[in-house]
Structure formats: C-alpha cells, structure tokens
Amino acid sequence: MIRLAALLLMLAMPAQAQSAAETAQAAAEQLSRAARQLEQAQGAGDRVDALTEIVQAYEGGLSALRDGLRQLAIRERALTADLTAREADTGRLVAALQAMERAPVPLLLMHPSGPLGTARSSMMLSDVAPALNARAKVLRDDLAALRDLRVLEQSAADSLALGLTGVQEARVALSEAIAERTDLPPRLSEDSARIAALLGRVDTLEAFALGLGALPPKESNEMDLPLPLPVAGRVLRRFNEPDAAEIRRPGLVLATSAAAVVTAPVAGTVRYSGPLLDYGNVIILEPRPDTLLVFAGLSEVYARQTEILRLGAPLGLMGGRLPDGTENLRESVMGGGALRPETLYIEVRQGGTPEDPANWFATE
C-alpha cells in the first residue's frame, strides 16, 4: 500500500493550488505511517486501527488527485481557448509573410514613393521582426505548456485508477479484520431487552433518541470541542434548515463520497447500532452522560451495540458503489455531478434536547 505514497506526492506538480498539494502530502504521510503501524500490529484491534487509517489516507489522496485533475482540466481549457482566439490572427500573419516570401526580391525593394519610402519600409519591417519573434515564442511556450498538461493529466489519471484499486483492497481488508477481531469484547449490559422493546414503540428518530437517553448512562468522558467530523464531506443542510420539501430536521446533513469510512469523533459507548425506521443503519454514540451523538444513513455498520470505542474507531461505511476509473476521471475533469454523493445525517442531543451540531463539530 506504500506504492500510492509516491503517486500522491506527484500531485504537488500538477495541482496549481497549494491546498490540493498539501492534502496529497498529508495523505501520503498518513498512508506511510499507517502501513508501518499495520506491520507492527500486535492484535486485532491494532490491525483495525491501522487499516482504518490506511483507508482514510487513500480517501484523502484520491480527493486531492481529483482536485488536481480538475485544476489541470480548467487550465487546459483556458489555454485551448486562448490559442483558438489567436488562431485567426496568426493565420493572417503567416499568410502575409508567405506572400512576401513569394514576391521577387527586386519588387520588395521598390516602393511607390521612391527610395525614401523603401528605406522607411525596411525600418518598419526591422521593428516588426522582434515583435513577431516574441509572439512566436509565446505561442511555442503555450503549446509546450499544453503538451505538458496533457502528460500530467494522463499521469494523474493513471494514479487515480491505481488509488481506486488500493482503496477497494483496503476496505475489504478492514471489513475482514473487523469481522475476525476477538480482542474487543462488548460491555455486559441489560439494555438489549429495553432497546428492543423501545424499537417496537417509536416511529421517529427523535422518539427513539429520547427513550434511549432515559436509560442509565454507561460512561463519562471529557470532550474537547470542536469534534472532528466522522467522515470527510461537505455540509448540505444545517440545523433546522429546510430541504427541498420544506422539511426541517434538528441535525446536520453531510455529503460524502461513496463507500467512505465513518469513524468515531470521540470515545464513547455505542448505545445503539443497526437499522432504524427509514433512516438506514443508525449508530448512537454516548460519549458522556446525557449526551448522544446520532449518525444515520450508513450502509454497513462495524460498531457493535454496548461496545466501548476509542477515538477514531471505525463505525461503518457509507453506501453507494465505488466508481470505476472512467467514471471517477469524468467526475474529476468535469467538476462534479457525474457521481451521486451519499448523505450522512448527524444529530446531537444533550439531555434529550437537540442542539446545533455546528457548535460541536468542526464544519468549516
């Protein structure tokens, strides 16, 4: 998996924005660190932690590669448009020079106004020559830049395809490691029967969270705010912001990439894990008494109910299928829209009352 590190570092050249290069650099360092951690893993838990970091490094690197490809495509379109705009002027200039070249030398030395006009014309031509040379140099430089951009685009596209293969392999390995682990036993609890009974009585996520919050707390932890987002993405809707159907929800809707790994933003106890109503798979994490963090919309869950998780432990995966190289390249170059993002719903409840997740999570 270290093979992607060098490919990620290549982005520092084609990506003309510092942020993309920095993202690639950070992902490459994280990937190398996680690979060393995986080699030194002593138990199943260590292996899961290392594989989680590897998946996150791949996701960060691929995101940076897509940004780099998008910037390359924008630069290539701008250069192509500029060259096209100058094509007509260049064509007329070349035609005039060719006409002069075909004219007999004696005729070129003649001017209707006599020898003085001929001398003036020669002086004008001598002044024009440097400008023509400079213009030709600019055109040559632009064409060379366009060729270099296309080479970089192909290199980045090859790296993107290789990265997609790597992240698929890392996610499969993570799923297998979580299924096989035996060194993180769940906490003994009598909540299972109560939660099962609660599920049969509620018809909303709010009612379920309220009922769950009434159960005895399991653990008390200190939290440093703001918490990191559990998955890389962008905010689609904020607290109580209406959607297209004018429905308001007391949480945050986050757009993520397909099959992205979701991790615990803080240590805590898993109070619930599994399907809930029409929210898909839901994980409710209790980092301290009277505080519940709700994550809804996962496709696959790793965390088990009553399990005590560490910061950064994998909670599960988002839905959607991983795109192939062609789809991913098209999405990168065209700037979005080709691939449908997945959405994670995040809710924070303090003492049964929903609070704005923007006050808890680093959303900027």
- For residue 132, the enclosing domain spans 3-180
**Type of residue found at 234:** R
Domain count, the chain: 2
Question: Which one has a higher pLDDT value, 146 or 195?
Answer: 195
Q: What's the pLDDT score for residue 105? A: 46
d(CA 37, CA 338): 36
Q: What's the pLDDT score for residue 338? A: 45
Q: Are 177 and 34 in contact (CB under 8 A)?
A: no
Q: Are residues 201 and 253 in the same domain?
A: yes
Does residue 103 surpass a pLDDT of 60? no
Q: Are residues 116 and 230 in the same domain?
A: no
Q: Are residues 32 and 169 in the same domain?
A: yes
Residue 66 within a domain: yes
Residue 364 within a domain: no
Q: What's the pLDDT score for residue 38? A: 82
Does residue 219 surpass a pLDDT of 60? no
Q: What is the pLDDT of residues 242-277, one digit of tens each?
A: 988 898 999 999 999 888 999 999 999 899 999 988
Q: Are residues 86 and 32 in the same domain?
A: yes
Q: Are residues 121 and 173 in the same domain?
A: yes
Q: Which of 38-52, 90-104, 129-143 has the highest mean pLDDT?
A: 38-52
Q: Are residues 200 and 278 in the same domain?
A: yes
Q: What is the pLDDT of residues 62-92, one digit of tens each?
A: 877 777 777 777 777 777 777 777 666 666 6
Q: Which of 149, 180, 211 is the last residue of a domain?
A: 180
Q: Are residues 159 and 203 in the same domain?
A: no
Residue 314 within a domain: yes
Residue 74 within a domain: yes
- From the list 292, 339, 337, the residue with the least C-alpha distance to 318 is 339
Query: Inter-axis angle of helices 18-39 and 44-102, to 10 degrees?
Result: 140
Q: Are residues 284 and 199 in the same domain?
A: yes
Question: Which one has a higher pLDDT value, 30 or 128?
Answer: 30
Q: Are residues 172 and 207 in the same domain?
A: no
Does residue 179 surpass a pLDDT of 90? no
Q: Which of 180, 209, 235 is the last residue of a domain?
A: 180
Q: Are residues 119 and 205 in the same domain?
A: no
Residue 186 within a domain: no
Q: Are residues 86 and 140 in the same domain?
A: yes
Residue 123 within a domain: yes
Q: Are 79 and 180 in contact (CB under 8 A)?
A: no
Q: What's the pLDDT score for residue 11? A: 42
Does residue 95 surpass a pLDDT of 70? no
Q: What's the pLDDT score for residue 8? A: 46
Q: What is the pLDDT of residues 274-330, one digit of tens each?
A: 998 888 899 999 999 889 999 999 999 999 888 889 999 999 999 887 655 545 555
The helix/strand count (H/E) of the chain reads as 8, 11
Residue 185 within a domain: no
Q: Could you please report the per-residue DSSP string of 208-224?
A: HHHHHHTSPP-------
Q: Are 28 and 81 in contact (CB under 8 A)?
A: no
Question: Which one has a higher pLDDT value, 337 or 226?
Answer: 226
CATH number for the domain including 269? 2.70.70.10
Q: What's the pLDDT score for residue 19? A: 66
Q: What is this structure's pTM?
A: 0.71
